[in-house]
């Protein structure tokens, strides 16, 4: 090939490249066969990538929204259960207060009954220990007879009689006290009065 032909081919190639570049084409030499990527091709590829990314983001946001909705539903359910539990707790507290009041009233009545029961009790001391439990009532009836208490009352006023347990601090020779319950209370007052007048 002559020098003039080479120059002509170079000029033609430069003209084509300039024209293709002006039209938005990129010339890449690959051996003897040039490869061209057009602007339209790049736009299509970029749009496809943007569409894919947009779809992925949309799907991610949809999943997140669903999870948030489920979480909100669960929170609402938990709040409803907590509200019911608070109502039940309030009801239970009210019932507990009622029970406490009833227990208090029962304890007061029991204390009053115990006080009334003790009110009828009379203690006796220095009664010999050789007098057994079965003999205590007869012994006390004899004692009341000496105090001029009628025989009829002797058989009715002693409801129960027993010795107290012996404290560790009590000397061995000391007799244990005896408690006798009189019924009704007026008999106890009569015995006390007769003892004082003796």
Look at residue 36 in the predicted model and tell me its pLDDT: 67
Task: Report yes or no: 158 and 137 within 8 Å, Cβ to Cβ.
Answer: yes
**136, 159 contact by CB (below 8 A):** no
CA quadruple 98, 100, 106, 108: dihedral sign: negative
The number of folded domains in the chain is 2
Question: Which SS3 state, helix, strand or coil, does residue 134 take?
Answer: helix
pLDDT given for residue 198 in this prediction:
67
149 lies in a domain? yes
Q: Which residue has the tokens 């084409």?
A: 25
User: In this structure, is residue 73 part of a structural domain?
Assistant: no
Q: Say if 142 falls within a structural domain.
A: yes
Residue 142, classified by CB atoms within 10 Å of its CB into exposed (0-12), middle (13-18) or buried (19+), is: exposed
Asked whether residue 158 is assigned to any structural domain, the reply reads: yes
pTM, two decimal places: 0.40
In-domain check, residue 126: yes
pLDDT on residue 100: 92
Cα(78)–Cα(193) distance, integer angstroms: 75
pLDDT the model gives residue 21? 41
Range of the domain at 144: 120-197
The structure tokens 């690959």 sit at: 30
Residue 186: inside a domain, yes or no?
yes
The tens place of each residue's pLDDT in the chain, 198 residues long, gives 544 444 344 444 444 444 444 444 444 444 555 566 788 888 888 988 998 999 899 888 888 888 888 888 888 888 888 988 999 999 999 999 999 999 999 998 888 887 777 778 888 888 888 888 888 888 888 887 777 766 455 455 777 888 888 878 878 778 888 888 877 777 778 778 877 776
């Amino acid at each position: 090939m002559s020098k003039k032909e080479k120059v002509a081919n170079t000029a033609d190639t430069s003209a084509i490249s300039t024209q293709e570049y002006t039209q938005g084409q990129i010339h890449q030499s690959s051996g003897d066969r040039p490869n061209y990527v057009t602007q339209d091709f790049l736009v299509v590829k970029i749009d496809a990538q943007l569409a894919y990314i947009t779809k992925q983001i949309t799907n991610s946001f949809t999943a997140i929204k669903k999870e948030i909705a489920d979480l909100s539903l669960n929170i609402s359910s938990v709040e409803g259960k907590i509200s019911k539990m608070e109502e039940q707790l309030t009801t239970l507290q009210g019932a507990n207060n009622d029970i406490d009041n009833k227990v208090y009233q029962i304890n007061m009545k029991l204390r009053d009954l115990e006080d009334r029961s003790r009110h009828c009790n009379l203690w006796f001391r220095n009664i010999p220990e050789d007098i057994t439990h079965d003999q205590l009532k007869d012994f006390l009836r004899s004692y009341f007879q000496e105090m001029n208490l009628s025989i009829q009352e002797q058989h009715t006023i002693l409801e129960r009689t027993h010795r107290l347990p012996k404290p560790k601090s009590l000397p061995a020779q000391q007799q244990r006290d005896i408690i006798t319950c009189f019924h009704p209370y007026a008999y106890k007052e009569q015995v006390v009065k007769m003892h004082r007048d003796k």
